Copies of this chain bind each other. A is one copy, B any other.
Amino acid sequence: LLDQLARLPIPILVDCTASDQMTPVYHAALSRGIHVVAANKKPLTEPFATYTETRSLARRAHRSYRYETTVGASLPIVETLAQLVRTGDRIHLVEGSLSGTLGYLANELTSGVALSQAVLKAKELGYTEPHPRDDLSGKDAARKALILAREAGLQLELSDIVVEPFVPESILAHDALPEFFDALKRFDAEFDARIRGLKAEGRVLRYLATVDLRGEKPTLRVGPVGVPAEHPATRLRGTEAFVAFTTKRYAEYPLVVQGAGAGGAVTAAGVVADVLALSQGLRGR
């Protein structure tokens, strides 16, 4: 199939799966001169050596490997960061609310909805994975943080990220949904007290990813944070995502990109944009 694809004028492999088996396929494609456009986070969060191999294979073959939609759907986040790095800027801090689902939950909880109710509603609206723990664990946000960290030049692994789940691990351990929701319900009061405590301090709950390159050793953290009123993340509504890049050039105020960061339409549009950018570049425009 790849050999046939390679005969097209501009062959592009578009990966819209969430499979962790795609790296060998990418390698086979790139070595046949096929470009890769991916909405799939898994190959980008493989061990660093594999990640590097894919990218250098693309470089050696003079082929594109684009994956804008892996973070924030079609919001211009990956390419903006790549461009800062490419033009010699120095990244100090990347901070973002990268999970539309957890952003939605944080908003619901802040407006007084009980935790178990908010998760149930999010599930009914189709915002969560089939089992909501896959969102609440923070692992998806961690993958996105790793993609950004690697784009910023850091040689890190998923295991280097400090991930604090949205709710305690003991709740996430429940495989069966009824038990899972029961456990959430027993946690409602504690979570509510936490939200009230934050409010009393003028803070708002957010689930943030932070890539901090300011210290001697870069740190990656994903977890719930009580952000102060002046923080850009307090303004997020609905399932909005945002990323703020603080850099040498954007030192006083960060470069901020904000908007709907999840959903079929915006992700599909982002994939199309990657394909078009690639083919337009090749035609010299």
Asked whether, in the complex, the Cβ of B258 is within 8 Å of the Cβ of A255, the reply is: yes
Bin chain A's interface residue count.
Answer: 35 or more
Nearest B residue to A65 via CB reads B285
Contacts of A18 in B (CB 8 A): none
Question: Does A86 sit at the interface, judged by CB under 8 A?
Answer: yes
Question: Does A22 sit at the interface, judged by CB under 8 A?
Answer: no
Q: How many copies does the complex hold?
A: 2
A69 to chain B, nearest CB (A): 12
Question: Does A135 sit at the interface, judged by CB under 8 A?
Answer: no
Asked whether, in the complex, the Cβ of B237 is within 8 Å of the Cβ of A253, the reply is: yes
A239 to chain B, nearest CB (A): 9
Asked whether, in the complex, the Cβ of A280 is within 8 Å of the Cβ of B281, the reply is: yes
Question: Does A269 sit at the interface, judged by CB under 8 A?
Answer: yes
User: Given the complex of chains A and B, what is the CA–CA distance between A143 and B252 in angstroms?
Assistant: 27
List A residues 230-263 near B (Cβ within 8 Å). Answer: 232, 235, 237-238, 240, 249-250, 252-260
If over half of A's interface residues share one DSSP class (helix, strand or loop), that class is named, otherwise mixed; here it is mixed
Question: Does A17 sit at the interface, judged by CB under 8 A?
Answer: no
Asked whether, in the complex, the Cβ of A238 is within 8 Å of the Cβ of B253, the reply is: yes
A285 to chain B, nearest CB (A): 5
Nearest B residue to A61 via CB reads B284
Question: Does A272 sit at the interface, judged by CB under 8 A?
Answer: yes
Contacts of A240 in B (CB 8 A): 253
Nearest B residue to A265 via CB reads B249
Asked whether, in the complex, the Cβ of A59 is within 8 Å of the Cβ of B285, the reply is: yes
Once A284-B282, A285-B62 are accepted as A-B contacts, the answer to whether A238 and B252 lie under 8 Å apart by CB is: yes
A125 to chain B, nearest CB (A): 13
Asked whether, in the complex, the Cβ of B269 is within 8 Å of the Cβ of A89, the reply is: yes
With a 10 A CB-CB cut-off, give which of A62, A277, A278, A281 has the most chain B CB atoms: A281
Nearest B residue to A75 via CB reads B255
Asked whether, in the complex, the Cβ of A269 is within 8 Å of the Cβ of B235, the reply is: no
What per-residue 1/0 map shows which CB atoms of A31-66 lie under 8 Å from chain B?
Answer: 000010000000000000000000000110011110
Q: Which of B86, B235, B256, B265 has a CB less than 8 Å from the CB of A259? A: B256
Question: Does A76 sit at the interface, judged by CB under 8 A?
Answer: yes
Question: Does A79 sit at the interface, judged by CB under 8 A?
Answer: yes
Complex A-B: 8 CB contacts under 8 Å: A87-B270, A88-B272, A252-B260, A254-B259, A280-B281, A281-B284, A282-B282, A282-B284
Listed from nearest, the 6 A-B pairs whose CB atoms lie closest are A281-B281, A255-B259, A256-B258, A62-B284, A87-B269, A87-B272
A-B contacts besides A74-B83, A75-B255, A256-B259, 14 pairs, CB < 8 Å? A58-B285, A62-B283, A62-B285, A63-B284, A63-B285, A64-B284, A76-B79, A83-B277, A232-B235, A238-B253, A255-B259, A256-B256, A277-B281, A281-B282
